[in-house]
Chain A
Amino acid sequence: MTRLTPHQRANFAFGAFSGSAALVIVAVLAFIVWDVLSLGLPQMSWEFVSAPPRDGMTAGGIFPAIFGTVLLVLIMTAAVIPVGVVTAVFLFEYARPDAFFARAVRSAVYNLAGVPSIVFGLFGVGFFIQFVGGNLDRLFSDGRVVWGQPAILWAALTLAVLTLPVVIVATEEALRAVPREHREAALALGSTRFEALWRVVLPQAVPGILTGAILAVARGAGETAPILFTGAAYFLPHLPTSGHDQFMHLGYHVYVLATQSPDIEATKPILYGTVLVLLLVTVILNLVAIGLRSRLRKRRS
């Protein structure tokens, strides 16, 4: 056998090292999936996904939490897409890249992406509940607290702020991918910048914007910290019917079952079932968005 030179040895060592690092990731993921499936699958039943909890959460289902999670994510998406897209359009199409305001917005976006999610929760309490909600009550309420309390709308808007950077960055990428020639052609035909944007650029950017929506949903559906103080409830006898109602949430439900239950051992199967459903709901929300995007792409080509 030939002896390896030091160079070759270092090369081999690094290859083995990076390979095993990659293996660790696969192993961790495999362990999580196996753990959740093996303990969560036996819990699956029609009752589990369609009924509310019973007997101090040791029996029954988690339907209110599923409902609340899906509704929360839908409201979040409806809020974050328009704001994110309009911001990205401003940054990419209108602002001069070296303008002070554009640079300030851009660095705010990047910093927003790095803020810990619990901080968004506190921001939601301070801004949406106390400031916006509190002032709404002061102006329109007859003394009762309607908006100045945790609610699904405030939780959804807090998540929307959290996922805003994802949508902005994805939309900017999508706008960048639209060929300059198409903008020029539209302008040379006598379009205003807005017409060129609306009729030529944005339609081409829609699949990319949906990619942003997918990433936002993936991020938003799993976050728990931002909704802790802004709207998620421990247990509710009713489903939310209005924006100022509180709601149950799968992620929060997992936390409650794991730490707040009077009998933690008794709730453990339900805990695993809930985790499995949370993963499934996230996957399904993603698949819906991906399906929508591929249908749009197909229609275009």
Chain B
Amino acid sequence: MHLQAPLEAKLASEKLELYYGEKRALHGIDIEIPERRVTALIGPSGCGKSTFLRCFNRMNDLIPGVRIVGRATLDGVDLYGRGVDVVELRRRVGMVFQKSNPFPKTIWENVAFGPRILGEKNKARLDEVVERSLRAAALWDDVKDRLQASALGLSGGQQQRLCIARALAVEPEVLLMDEPASALDPIATARIEELIHGLKTRYTIVIVTHSMQQAARVSDFTAFFYMGELVEFGETETIFTNPTERRTEDYVTGRFG
């Protein structure tokens, strides 16, 4: 089954299979993820959605015994081909994790981390990047007076927005979000969702979520994963109101999962 969205594809995969040792976790995924839209990956726990997400910045490389067959592409270039610079790839494809993971450093140092490892040393330019990124993550007004305070003093929601700001500071093209709001209260979740809505004009966003309401609220396209397969992919509206597959319908209507 080949599922396609009628837009320019930023990320894509072709017959992508991933193995943990002998165990196949992804069964030939074909997808084209459109540029400057929000695509949600939904499905029950263990369906492979997070594993699939991590194929696009090659974070699965860190797990021993992982083997990948097939293609995953960014702007048509195979991410697992020869001569791919993983470090460069991860600069273009940013990631926000399920558990907010600010470094035990100051707020300023957290946001400036990426630009600094890219070699930026100029304090004024770093200040500018920090401000721009914090504004983009809707955190500037909360923290502008305490940039030199520890990031660990922020609330959970603020920490997660700080992680988004930190990811934006290296000016990625794609933002991968792995259940970014699953550990947050409803108000902090709402702020993250607002933020995602505002970011999609500039970034291609792929978000893994456990919450179908969240997928319905934030995404333009939705992919339903089940047991390592991509069951259905299409416009969010269609997936939630008029899915083609029986399994999708059962899941989105809450009959299992």
Contacts and interface: CB of A to CB of B under 8 A. Distances in A.
Interface stretch (B43-51, B87-95, B201-209): B87-95
Interface string A162-183: 0000000000000000010110
Nearest to B96: A188
B139 interface: no
Most buried by B among A96, A182, A187: A187
Interface in A191-240: 191-192, 195, 199-200, 204
Nearest to A301: B150
Given A190-B90, A191-B87, A192-B87, A185 B114 contact: no
Given A96-B64, A195-B117, A188 B87 contact: no
B150 to A, nearest CB: 7
B97 A184 contact: yes
Contacts of A191: 87, 117
A181 B97 contact: yes
A300 interface: yes
Contacts of B166: 185, 189
Contacts of B150: 301
Contact of B59 (A188, A190, A192, A301): A188
Interface stretch (B7-15, B30-38, B98-106, B226-234): B98-106
At the interface, is chain A mostly helix, strand, loop or mixed?
helix
A179 B117 contact: no
B134 interface: no
Size range of the chain B interface in the assembly: 20 to 34
B124 interface: no
A195 B94 CA distance: 17
Interface in A136-171: none
B136 to A, nearest CB: 16
B62 A187 contact: yes
Interface in B56-112: 57, 59, 62, 64, 87-88, 90-91, 94-95, 97, 99, 101-104
Contacts of A185: 97, 101-103, 163, 166
A181 B150 CA distance: 17
B113 interface: yes
B64 A300 contact: no
Nearest to B109: A199
B103 A188 contact: no
A186 interface: yes
Nearest to A183: B62
Interface string B166-200: 11001000000000000000000000000000000
Given A190-B87, A204-B104, A184 B62 contact: yes
A187 B86 CA distance: 10
A182 B103 contact: yes
Contacts of B167: 188-189
Given A184-B62, A199-B113, A300-B104, A189 B94 contact: yes
A224 B125 CA distance: 57
Interface in B153-171: 163, 166-167, 170
Contacts of B97: 181, 184-185, 188
A200 B117 contact: no
A206 to B, nearest CB: 12
A184 to B, nearest CB: 7
27 contacts: A181-B97, A181-B99, A182-B101, A184-B59, A185-B97, A185-B163, A185-B166, A186-B103, A186-B113, A187-B59, A187-B62, A187-B90, A188-B167, A189-B91, A189-B114, A189-B166, A189-B167, A190-B87, A190-B88, A190-B117, A190-B118, A191-B117, A192-B87, A195-B117, A199-B113, A204-B104, A301-B152
10 A-B pairs with the lowest CB-CB distances in the bound complex, closest first: A190-B91, A181-B101, A188-B95, A189-B114, A190-B90, A185-B101, A195-B117, A190-B87, A191-B117, A192-B87
Interface of A: 96, 179, 181-182, 184-192, 195, 199-200, 204, 300-301
